[in-house]
Structure 1
Amino acid sequence: MDLQAFFKMSYGLYVLSSAFDGKQNGCIVNTVTQVTAEPPKVAVAVSKQNLTTSLIERSGLFNAVALTEEATMDLIGRFGFRSGREEDKFAGIPHGADANGVWYPTETASAMFSCKVIDKLDLDTHVLFVGKSIEAVKLSDAPVMTYDYYHKVKKGETPPNAPSYKKPAEKHGWRCKVCGYIYEGEELPPDFICPICKKDASFFERI
């Protein structure tokens, strides 16, 4: 089986959010798709390790925001490579709330889909949630960011717990053990901070 064939599938880049008992959180995912039109239903796959997954399972609610090509690596790093168990990901950024009170980022957002979970499937490392859409809002006419654009133009990395993760090509330098960012150079400055996940030099390993 040629696993590289799967890389030809088209993906977007989304912030998936949920809330339960006063806790709001979101994470970056690339597998969000509409599965029926009438009524509109949306499916999303998310890692079992993510706090957002736990919030969805407990609340039965989620929303997904399609990011535009203008989305910054700081925003992507905040939601994609940091833990909501350690920080408030929504702190200090523009955000709105859907009809269920679940927050979502509004900056560089193209559209928001709010859903109520009607089914789920255990996928070993991930959970596939199927939600019936109860709200959909167009937020921008800007081009949406595809996963291919994220890699080729933004030079973004794929987190190890993403469905489409593949081991990076061999490089020399220092790799962040959290997000995979690579610092190319013989010596890593002791005060270096990862530009993606904001971890310090102690989280880097030589490669």
Structure 2
Amino acid sequence: MEKNALFKLSYGLYVLGVNDGNKPNGCIINTAVQLTSNPYRIAVTVNKANYTHDVLMKSKNMTLSVLDITCPFDIFKRFGFQSGKEVNKFDGFDMYDLKDSLPYLTQYANAYMKGHVIETLDELTHTMFIVELDDAVILNEHDSMTYDYYFKNVKPKPEKKKKGWVCKICGWVYEGDELPEDLICPICKHPASDFEPL
């Protein structure tokens, strides 16, 4: 099976917002899809290694900020390349607001939705959350950012001079001639099979 074929599926990019009771938190996800329109329900799939996953499992409430094509790489670094267990991702960040204590982006997102979890499905490395929406608001008319757009226009290209392997998902570089088979990307948690030579 050619795993790269899965990259041809069209995905959007989002900031999933939660609150652990002490502070807002969020992470970048690319797996959200509308399920029904009466009632309005979406499915959101989150990697179990993410702190946001654990908070959502406990709190059952979330927001989803739909990133648009104006979103810079710094937003992906803030919400995708560090853990809410170790840092407050919203500390010093003023481009957000709260809806019932849940964070959503007020810039670089063309819409946000707020909802509550009504069901969960265990999908091995991820959990699929079935979410009923309580609110949805359009913030601007910019086009939504797709995974493809992110890779072609936002994510920095790795330097070609280094010897090593680059994660096709987040761009982290492992330096060395041989890639360990059991390597897990420290940034996005993807396995060695998602790396390619520089």
In structure 1, the residue matched to 2:128 is 128
- Aligned-pair distance for 1:69? 0.7
Residues 1:46 and 2:56 aligned together = no
In structure 1, the residue matched to 2:10 is 10
Equivalents in 2 of 1:112, 1:50: separation in Å?
A: 21
Code of the aligned partner of 1:148 = D
In structure 2, the residue matched to 1:192 is none
Equivalents in 2 of 1:2, 1:176: separation in Å?
A: 18
Q: For residues 66-90 of structure 1, what are the alpha-carbon distances to aligned partners after superposition, in whole Å with 9 as ceiling and x for unaligned?
A: 1111111111110011111111111
**Where do residues 80-159 of structure 1 align in structure 2 (5 Å cutoff)?**
80-93=80-93, 94-98=95-99, 100-155=100-155
**Where do residues 72-83 of structure 1 align in structure 2 (5 Å cutoff)?**
72-83=72-83
Equivalents in 2 of 1:57, 1:142: separation in Å?
A: 31
Equivalents in 2 of 1:180, 1:108: separation in Å?
A: 21
The answer on whether the counterparts of 1:90 and 1:105 sit within 8 Å (CA) in structure 2 is no
The answer on whether the counterparts of 1:109 and 1:140 sit within 8 Å (CA) in structure 2 is yes
TM-score when scaled to structure 2?
0.79
Change (3 A) 1:155 1:139: same
Moved more, 69-78 or 3-12: 3-12
Partner-residue secondary structure (3-state), 1:153: helix
In structure 2, the residue matched to 1:189 is none
Equivalents in 2 of 1:130, 1:156: separation in Å?
A: 33
CA RMSD of aligned residues (A): 2.6
In structure 2, the residue matched to 1:162 is none
The answer on whether the counterparts of 1:150 and 1:156 sit within 8 Å (CA) in structure 2 is no
Give unpaired runs (5+ residues) of structure 2.
176-186, 188-197
**Where do residues 22-33 of structure 1 align in structure 2 (5 Å cutoff)?**
22-33=22-33
Alignment length (residue pairs) = 173
Code of the aligned partner of 2:83 = S
Equivalents in 2 of 1:54, 1:29: separation in Å?
A: 14
TM-score when scaled to structure 1?
0.75
The answer on whether the counterparts of 2:24 and 2:101 sit within 8 Å (CA) in structure 1 is no
Give unpaired runs (5+ residues) of structure 1.
158-167, 185-196, 198-206
Code of the aligned partner of 1:181 = W
The answer on whether the counterparts of 2:23 and 2:88 sit within 8 Å (CA) in structure 1 is no
- Aligned-pair distance for 1:19? 1.0
Q: For residues 38-68 of structure 1, what are the alpha-carbon distances to aligned partners after superposition, in whole Å with 9 as ceiling and x for unaligned?
A: 1100111111011101111111111111111
Equivalents in 2 of 1:103, 1:132: separation in Å?
A: 17
Partner-residue secondary structure (3-state), 2:154: coil
Equivalents in 2 of 1:134, 1:156: separation in Å?
A: 36
In structure 2, the residue matched to 1:68 is 68
Equivalents in 2 of 1:155, 1:78: separation in Å?
A: 13
In structure 2, the residue matched to 1:172 is 162
The answer on whether the counterparts of 1:46 and 1:127 sit within 8 Å (CA) in structure 2 is yes
